[in-house]
Amino acid sequence: MRCFNVPFILPAAAVVAVKCVAAQTAIPLVDIKSVDPTIVIELRYAGANNLAGQALYPPGARALVRPEVASRLVAAQAFLRHYQYQLKIWDAYRPKSVQMQLWQAAHYNDYVADPHAGAGSLHSWGVAVDATLIDTSNRPVLMPTDFDDFTPAAMWHYWGPDPAIRSHLHLLQIAMQDAGFYGLHTEWWHFVIAGWQKYLPPEESKRALQAFGMRWQGKL
């Protein structure tokens, strides 16, 4: 699938319309940093520290999401700063071409969405982010696992013995839930905007629900 970027401006922020020719679908996206500069960005697929072992994004790649997702991240960031923590974003909008590379690098396992099945990854629709918690000095805090850890330790519910990890994870989950996100059962860092179905074409939404509907975590 060949995709290209067409920039246009809205009053609140610069928006990029990503049009995938095959799908004939335009996705309005904003740079998270343009909406809230305090949110820390570390796109893991822009470097080699990921499951593919190489950079999958070009130099200077930005963390893009739909405007509705960005506004909810702002709310989550404000909540966390009351507790002397903040968000770090590991991934946001992910082109389908990158999803294909991840699918191949993961050896087609169940932890990575098949780009050919259903709607593919919800990252590719601009409605999902991968996020973690850091302190207000941008230092990492203890969390259950690193990014892209496909083991039972990465499950939404932390069953380990460390109370600090449990507290940090619970705080992140509360912040994201209150801001209007769902979590993913198998990946504590993965969050999707509530009502994401309305941002996909009806047929894509139906297929995505069939593939993912039972995997989302709602209330804590």
Q: Which residues are catalytic?
A: 187
Q: For tokens 């969050």, name the residue.
A: 191
- Both tokens of 168, joined, read 């940090």
Taking the alpha carbons of 195, 200, 202, 207 in that order, is the dihedral positive or negative? negative
- Burial (Cβ within 10 Å: 0-12, 13-18, ≥19) of residue 195: exposed
Task: Give the 3-state DSSP-derived string for 118-177, with helices as H, strands as E and coil as C.
Answer: CCCCHHHHCCEEEEEEEECCCCECCCCCCCCCCCHHHCCCCCCCCHHHHHHHHHHHHHHH
- Rounded-to-integer distance, Cα 108 and Cα 101, Å: 10
Which 3 state secondary structure label does DSSP give 33? helix
* Closest by Cα among 118, 117, 121 to 96: 121
- Both tokens of 204, joined, read 């894509």
